[in-house]
């Protein structure tokens, strides 16, 4: 995921959280839709963070080993 895509998702997550705070509990369908999209955004962010961890080096670079 590119940094731009990550920022877009973080912005969307913030907006969804704000919208959920403002949506009355009685609006069950609206809240369910917002919660589903928020879960989807959070899953995409978690997956991206996991991919970054998988790409991180686990030790010194081979040229640093002596």
Please list the pLDDT of the chain residue by residue as tens digits (66 residues).
Answer: 899 999 999 999 999 999 999 999 999 999 999 999 999 999 999 998 887 655 545 445 555 554
pLDDT value, residue 30: 98
- Whether 36 is in a domain gets the answer yes
pLDDT value, residue 60: 57
User: Is the model's pTM score more than 0.85?
Assistant: no
* Structural domain of 32: 1-46
- Whether 53 is in a domain gets the answer no
Count of structural domains, the chain:
1
- Residue 56 CB partners (closer than 8 Å, separation 6+): none
Q: What is the C-alpha separation between 28 and 22, in angstroms, rounded?
A: 13
């Amino acid at each position: 995921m590119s940094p731009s895509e990550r920022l877009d998702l973080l912005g969307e997550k913030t907006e969804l959280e704000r919208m959920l705070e403002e949506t009355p509990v009685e609006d069950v369908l609206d809240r369910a839709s917002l919660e589903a999209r928020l879960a989807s955004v959070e899953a995409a962010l978690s997956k991206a963070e996991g991919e970054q961890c998988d790409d991180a080096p686990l030790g010194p670079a081979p040229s640093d080993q002596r």
